[in-house]
Amino acid sequence: MARGRSSLNSGGKQKEELPKAKINRQTLKNISRLLSYLRPYRSKFIFAMFFLFLSSLVGLAFPSFIGGLIDAAQGKQTTKFLPATIQGIGLLALIVLFAQGFVSFFRILWFVQVAERSLADIRRDTYFKLITLPMNFFSNRRVGELNSRISADLSQIQDTLTTTLAEMIRQMVLLVGGIAFLAIISGKLTLSLLAVLPILIVIAIFFGRFIRKISRKAQDRLAESNTIVEETLQGIANVKAFVNESFEAGRYSRNIKDVANIAITGAKYRGLFASFIVFGMFGAIVTVVAYGCLLVSHHELTVGELFKFALYAAFVGSAMGSFPEMYANVQRAVGASERVLEILGEEGEKVSILETENDIKQKIDGNLAFDNVNFHYPSRPEIEVLKGISFEAKTGQKVAIVGPSGSGKSTMASLILQFYQPQSGTILYDSKPADVYSLTDIRNQVAIVPQDVLLFGGSIRENIAYGKLKATEEEIEVAAKRANAHQFIMSFPEGYDTIVGERGVKLSGGQRQRIAIARALLKNPSILILDEATSSLDSESERLVQEALEELMKNRTSIIIAHRLSTIREADNIIVLEKGKVIESGNHEELLGNENGLYRYLSQLQFEV
């Protein structure tokens, strides 16, 4: 069981905080590249921005209305722009409210429309890019990580576009406008407020951050303990077989105790924080208001003005308080955009994602040849996997590749499928080098029944139809019959609609293989690659699979990677591979004739058993 490193993709189900990025010129440049996705929707975006600005401005009017109302109730008029009567002010306020409701509706709708559509564009492009990236890209990355770019990173960008951006502009207007109004109402009071407010806010922010750090630590530990639960339950057979229940129980309870301790430490600070808020924040408010009342009693200020002042002060305070979190959000979005852009910037394979361009343009009859092919995986340049491989499979022939584990057989299959390019040498299809053909043409005419068949989570029908998306019901059934799969499929109550379970876990190995064979039959390729599974099937399902394979190999070039030598006696040519080199080749009889040959040795081993 792999431990420890999986806390990210298993235990960490709760919303993770994405790492923040520094904001500098380069990152701004990157951002502007992503913002280009807004371009098709720019007029709506600009209108939304304008409406946002407008509604924030109008929002600033409310404290004035309330203050005006209070003053009017006492028979005073303090604001020149407002009507003198209560009715007048009330009516005006209602009209403005209505207008603001109208504007707010459209600004929210438009913002979300723009953000969702452009996000959908970015998501689509990222996904398209991901699935067309070369195999090598995937061998260096974890699937969980890539998945999180499409989900978490893009959600972060979305959040920032739909909410944070708008909120930032709104708070900015409220802050600047609020301070201006405060100053108009009372310079003295404003100065006293600005003297205490920022200090309190800074303290509150640092405190808040500290507390969040502690609670994140508790969350991480909790995630860790969830990982323990997940792993032990998944590997429950291992736990029981090794009688390690007490070990796991101890590990888990230690972890849980830590979680509790950290949470309790956090609670201490949270309590302190609450006391600080009560004393500091409310204390400051009381002080400022008391000072304001003093001004009222000296007739320097009306009650309405004091009320207005308090409301504006609340605006300003909450605006100041919200900036750090918004800034952190923007930083996270910047980091997320960089990671997404990194994928968008990768060089993809030249395959089309348009269905119409998937038709075969250059037909391949089935002649396949390797000419002095040398290859190492780009991720492991120091290990030469294939060394000077040459062979030819004429149209319709069966060529077998045998050799010890790790000798490079599956790698050859990957090269035939053009998953990787050899560093030197050429692979020829119908005597023409690979680069004459489009990738789509080659892959459309080569089919593989892989070593470990991996099915998609849908129904059996969908899984077979993966070989030819437009296949009719009848074609699917014919393929299944020829692959010896029809019978077992019909034995399930739901027949072809049976859901195979995640990765096909609900089917046995032999059943999965026959589905893969049916899939390959539907595709009807010119060149077929069979990468024989190492795990042995029982003799009955082996016979069924073998029959299905014979059916599949008819009338096409077949490359058979075989572990059981009994399956390849009929092959036209057998290539014996060792450590990436062809050490022998010939048909079964010829190779058996080679006294010191590896093939003879291997077959003696197998047939003696």
Ligand X SMILES: Nc1ncnc2c1ncn2[C@@H]1O[C@H](COP(=O)(O)OP(=O)(O)OP(=O)(O)O)[C@@H](O)[C@H]1O
| Dihedral, 540, 543, 546, 548 alpha carbons, nearest 10 | -80
Among positions 255, 322, 337, 407, the unique one binding ligand X when judged by CB under 6 A: 407
Identify which of residues 380 and 554 has a Cβ nearer to Mg ion in the complex. 380
Q: How far is the CB of 387 from ligand X (least distance, A)?
A: 12
Q: Which does 377 bind (CB under 5 to 8 A by kind): Mg ion, ligand X, none?
A: ligand X
Instruction: Select the residue interacting with ligand X from 379, 424, 535, 604 (CB under 6 A).
Output: 379
Q: Which stretch binds Mg ion (CB under 5 A): 33-41, 107-115, 410-418, 543-551?
A: 410-418
The residues in 427-466 that bind Mg ion, with binding defined as CB under 5 A, are: 451
Sheet with strand 424-429: strands edge to edge: 386-393, 368-375, 424-429, 432-433
Select from ligand X, Mg ion, none the partner in contact with residue 593, using the beta carbon and a kind-dependent cut-off of 5 to 8 Å. Answer: none
Task: Catalogue the E-assigned strands of 398-465.
Answer: 398-402, 424-429, 432-433, 446-449
Nearer to ligand X, 380 or 432 (CB): 380
* Residue choice 47, 207, 377, 492 for contact with ligand X (CB under 6 A): 377
Query: Can you name the residues that pair with 358 across neighbouring β-strands?
Result: none
Q: Which residues contact 424 (CB under 8 A, 6 or more apart)?
A: 372, 373, 374
Residue 484: closest CA among 455, 514, 510? 514
Q: Report in angstroms how near the CB of residue 138 gets to ligand X at its nearest.
A: 9
- When asked if residue 225 is in the footprint of Mg ion (CB under 5 A), the reply is no
Q: Does 408 bind ligand X (CB under 6 A)?
A: yes
Minimum CB distance to Mg ion, residue 135 (Å): 15
410 binds ligand X, rule: CB under 6 A: yes
* Spatial separation of the C-alpha atoms in residues 578 and 601, rounded to whole Å: 13
385 makes contact with ligand X (CB under 6 A): yes
**What minimum distance in Å lies between the beta carbon of 562 and ligand X?**
10
Cβ nearer to Mg ion, comparing 64 with 414: 414
> Segment contacting ligand X (CB under 6 A): 123-131, 199-207, 352-360, 373-381?
373-381
Q: Under the criterion CB under 6 A, does residue 411 sit at the interface with ligand X?
A: yes
Q: Is 409 in the site for ligand X (CB under 6 A)?
A: yes
Q: Which 414-453 residues touch ligand X, going by CB under 6 A?
A: 451
Q: How far is CA 531 from CA 38, 412, 413, 438, in A?
A: 47, 10, 8, 24
Separation of alpha carbons 336 and 342, rounded Å: 10
389 beta partners: 373
Which residue, chain included where needed, has tokens 């029908």?
A: 461
Reported as half-sphere exposure (CB side, CA atoms, 13 A), residue 311 has a value of: 19
Amino acid found at 447: A
Site membership for ligand X, residue 405 (CB under 6 A)? yes
CB nearer to Mg ion: pick between 161 and 533: 533
**285 residue type, one letter:** I
Q: Which C-beta is closer to ligand X: that of 139 or that of 265?
A: 139
Which listed residue (14, 43, 74, 139) binds ligand X by CB under 6 A?
139
User: Which residue in 148, 140, 136, 605 sits closest to 404, CA to CA?
Assistant: 605
Number of residues that bind ligand X (CB under 6 A): 13
Note whether 380 binds ligand X by CB under 6 A.
Answer: yes
Region binding ligand X by CB under 6 A among candidate stretches 65-73, 286-294, 338-346, 405-413: 405-413
At residue 570, the 3 state secondary structure works out as coil
How does DSSP assign 519-569, residue by residue?
A: HHHHH--SEEEEE--SSPPPHHHHHHHHHHHHHHHTTSEEEEE-SSGGGGT
C-alpha span between 477 and 424 (Å, rounded): 43
Q: Which stretch binds ligand X (CB under 6 A): 30-38, 155-163, 349-357, 379-387?
A: 379-387
Distance CA 215, CA 224 (A): 14
- Shortest distance in whole angstroms from residue 516 CB to ligand X: 16
Kind and range of the H or E run holding 374: strand 368-375
Residue 209 touches which of Mg ion, ligand X, none (Cβ within 5-8 Å per kind): none
Residue 410 lies near Mg ion (rule: CB under 5 A): yes
Mapped onto helix, strand or coil, the DSSP state of residue 585 is strand
Shortest gap between Cβ of 448 and Mg ion (angstroms)? Answer: 11
567 binds ligand X (CB under 6 A): no
Binding site for Mg ion (CB under 5 A): 410, 451
Binding site for ligand X (CB under 6 A): 139, 377, 379-380, 385, 405-411, 451
